[in-house]
Chains A and B, each alone.
Chain A
Amino acid sequence: MLRPGLLLAIGALGLLGLAACGADNSSGEIAADRPVMESTDRAKQLALACSGCHSSEAGAIASLDGYSVDLMEQSLLAYKSDEDGTTVMHRLARGYSDTDIKLISAYLGQEDAP
């Protein structure tokens, strides 16, 4: 009969083996950072487009600090649907689906913002 400790060891070896197959890491080790990247979702990657212009510094370009999830989504949808809108944000928002706007808002908006 296998002891629980051994089972754990076999499980771990299995994981190592899997990683070694497609692995990029020439050492064959599983990257310690893998859990972070594993949970990386679409929202996070979409939102990379925002941080080149928007920081926590307010000014000619809005700071996104303090936007609630709802306000963020409403603002982006308003940019997208305003046919007469001419700003950069109007032109950019038209390229994003409502689903992506929801994802970005949920990621960048602050749960506890007013």
Chain B
Amino acid sequence: MIDVDLDRRRLLQGAALGLGAAALPVSASAQSNARIVIIGGGFGGASAAALLVKLMPSANVTLIDANPVYTACPFSNLVIGTDRPLSAQQFSYDGLRQQGVDILIAKAADVSPETQIVTLEDGSEIVYDRLILSPGIDMRWTALEGYSQEAAETLPHAWKAGPQTLLLRDKLVALEDGEPVLMTVPPAPYRCPPGPYERASMIAHYLKANKPRSKLIVLDAKDQFSKQALFQEAWTEHYPDHLEWRGAIDDGAVSRVDADIGAVYTDFDEIRAPVINVIPPQKAGAIADRAGVTDLTGWCPINPISFESMLQDKIHVIGDATIAAPMPKSAFSANLQAKVCAFAVARLLSDLDPMPTTLSNTCYSYTTPDEAISIAGVYINANGRLESIAESGGVSPLLADKAIRNAEAAQAAHWFDTITHEAFG
């Protein structure tokens, strides 16, 4: 464990001794008073807040989120397909509050990069010296014909955890044995590259156990996907009768949906089902647009060392909203980007340059309730972009012993506990 506090005490003592008298008048009179505002209390924003109050004890760190409780996406596929309760996904901000973060439950309506002001929905204004945006994703409602916020009440996306997760689960529970289930998967990039395939596994698991004559058909806009060989190995073993995946080459790309009659349309087909999980195309969370940090792709270009926006000064963007490929849009990435960004912000506010570093990512996916597979990557940010380091990273072995799958399932659960504790206290 990284004991920042202990370290800080050591460093402060060292600094006081080392710099001697020259530093004394400054540190005695000056207060940082740096105003750091963070919008978005998910894995990115919460992790950034937690580290910033440790790195900069005299700064004012404010975290703004519209909801008093955060509902985590990782493991929410187990809520859909197993008996995991949604409450296991939920975290309050009390832990961060106790650590000294100012928590503001409010919707951020606008950001003015020129005046360095965040405006809340009630009209109140918050001034920042540095702003960190961790807005996650929003659905690109206009990108899929027939899909809308209203349609999502009938054809849930469940790609933001919460009521949508429960809606999809309840629809599966209400399904008559023998009726089909559909899932549509968008082209990349979207939140959590292997997420649709873990979800497909969990839905197939549910059907096999509870609706054995039903089957899930996955309609994919792509022909290749994350951990594909591993997923397909698991599907062949566990769900030969309960899961069928159709890639783009097999007419898998969905161009239109109809919520009224419960149908999806590909180039050649109309398919109807009582349960349709539409994972729509996505973009950076809406506040990123308001702040002027998105480009034409709908995502946010960043300086990979500081995570400062390439489009606006003093605004940093972390997590799913960023253009950080090959680093994926995952909770692990958001958490680590948050910590690297917090370091950079603390250095910038101390008039020091941010430092290049090595970053990494790990994503676990469940294929059954007690078996999981993983992908890992290592990246450097020193050359103007994030780059994978050759010969590193990769996926779990194919045709592996059950014990390896079981071990990764246990590691995934441990990871979830650790990372949520680090982010939310």
**Residue ranges of A at the interface with B (Cβ–Cβ < 8 Å):** 8-9, 11-12, 15-16, 18-19, 22-27, 29-40, 42, 44-57, 59-61, 63-65, 86-88, 91-92, 94-96, 100, 108
Nearest-neighbour CB distance to chain A for B60, whole angstroms, equals 12
Q: Is B14 part of the binding interface, using a Cβ–Cβ cutoff of 8 Å?
A: yes
Residue in A12, A46, A63 with the greatest tally of chain B CB atoms within 10 Å: A12
B14-72 interface with A by 8 A CB criterion: 14-16, 19, 21-23, 25-27, 30-34, 51, 55-59
Q: Is the CB of B415 within 8 A of A53?
A: yes
Return chain B residues, CB-CB under 8 Å to A54.
Answer: 1, 418
| A11 to B31 alpha-carbon distance, docked (Å) | 18
Q: Is the CB of A88 within 8 A of B411?
A: yes
Closest to A61 in B: B414
Nearest-neighbour CB distance to chain B for A51, whole angstroms, equals 5
| A19 to B351 alpha-carbon distance, docked (Å) | 6
Return chain B residues, CB-CB under 8 Å to A16.
Answer: 26
Q: Is B188 part of the binding interface, using a Cβ–Cβ cutoff of 8 Å?
A: no
Q: Show 8 A/B contacts (Cβ-Cβ < 8 Å), sorted by A.
A: A25-B129, A31-B349, A32-B58, A34-B352, A35-B23, A49-B359, A52-B336, A57-B418
Return chain B residues, CB-CB under 8 Å to A60.
Answer: 407, 410-411, 413-414
Q: Is the CB of A86 within 8 A of B392?
A: no
| A37 to B8 alpha-carbon distance, docked (Å) | 9
Q: What does the 1/0 interface line of B284-308 toward A look like (CB < 8 Å)?
A: 0000000000000000000000000
| A88 to B58 alpha-carbon distance, docked (Å) | 38
Which of B133-141, B231-239, B256-264, B393-401 is the interface stretch? B393-401
| A88 to B335 alpha-carbon distance, docked (Å) | 17
| A96 to B377 alpha-carbon distance, docked (Å) | 11
Supposing A29-B32, A32-B32, A48-B339 touch, asked if A96 and B358 sit within 8 A by C-beta, the answer is yes
Cross-chain contact of A37 among B347, B362, B421 (Cβ < 8 A): B347
Q: Is the CB of B347 within 8 A of A40?
A: yes
Q: Is the CB of B59 within 8 A of A24?
A: no
Supposing A31-B32, A37-B352, A42-B355 touch, asked if A95 and B343 sit within 8 A by C-beta, the answer is no
Closest to B417 in A: A57
Supposing A15-B26, A60-B410 touch, asked if A36 and B12 sit within 8 A by C-beta, the answer is yes
Return chain A residues, CB-CB under 8 Å to B57.
Answer: 33
Return chain A residues, CB-CB under 8 Å to B376.
Answer: 88, 91-92
Closest to B27 in A: A32
**Which interface class (under 10, 10 to 19, 20 to 34, 35 or more) fits B?**
35 or more
- What DSSP secondary structure best describes chain A's contact surface? loop
Q: Is the CB of A38 within 8 A of B350?
A: yes
Supposing A38-B15, A51-B422 touch, asked if A24 and B22 sit within 8 A by C-beta, the answer is no
Q: Is the CB of B7 within 8 A of A44?
A: yes
Supposing A12-B22, A31-B58, A52-B335 touch, asked if A88 and B362 sit within 8 A by C-beta, the answer is yes
B61-108 interface with A by 8 A CB criterion: none
| A32 to B349 alpha-carbon distance, docked (Å) | 10
User: Beyond the given A22-B351, A33-B59, A36-B55, could you list 13 further A-B residue pairs with CB under 8 A, ordered by the A residue number?
Assistant: A12-B25, A15-B23, A24-B34, A24-B351, A33-B58, A33-B346, A36-B8, A36-B11, A48-B339, A49-B358, A53-B414, A54-B1, A95-B377
Q: Is B348 part of the binding interface, using a Cβ–Cβ cutoff of 8 Å?
A: yes
Q: Is the CB of A92 within 8 A of B15?
A: no
Q: Is the CB of B25 within 8 A of A33?
A: no
Q: Is B312 part of the binding interface, using a Cβ–Cβ cutoff of 8 Å?
A: no
Q: Is the CB of B2 within 8 A of A25?
A: no
Cross-chain contact of B31 among A32, A57, A88, A100 (Cβ < 8 A): A32
Q: Is the CB of A108 within 8 A of B2?
A: yes
| A97 to B11 alpha-carbon distance, docked (Å) | 26
Q: Is the CB of A86 within 8 A of B404?
A: yes
Q: Is B360 part of the binding interface, using a Cβ–Cβ cutoff of 8 Å?
A: yes
Closest to A37 in B: B350
Return chain B residues, CB-CB under 8 Å to A27.
Answer: 33
Return chain A residues, CB-CB under 8 Å to B348.
Answer: 24
Q: Is B269 part of the binding interface, using a Cβ–Cβ cutoff of 8 Å?
A: no
Q: Is the CB of B31 within 8 A of A25?
A: no
Q: Is the CB of A33 within 8 A of B55?
A: yes
Q: Is B130 part of the binding interface, using a Cβ–Cβ cutoff of 8 Å?
A: yes
Nearest-neighbour CB distance to chain B for A2, whole angstroms, equals 15
Return chain B residues, CB-CB under 8 Å to A33.
Answer: 32, 34, 55-59, 346, 349-350
Q: Is the CB of B25 within 8 A of A56?
A: no
Cross-chain contact of B1 among A25, A55, A59 (Cβ < 8 A): A55
Closest to B15 in A: A35
Q: Is the CB of A53 within 8 A of B418?
A: yes
B106-123 interface with A by 8 A CB criterion: 116
Nearest-neighbour CB distance to chain A for B341, whole angstroms, equals 10
Closest to B374 in A: A88
Return chain A residues, CB-CB under 8 Å to B267.
Answer: none
| A24 to B378 alpha-carbon distance, docked (Å) | 31
Return chain A residues, CB-CB under 8 Å to B400.
Answer: 86
Q: Is the CB of A46 within 8 A of B358?
A: yes
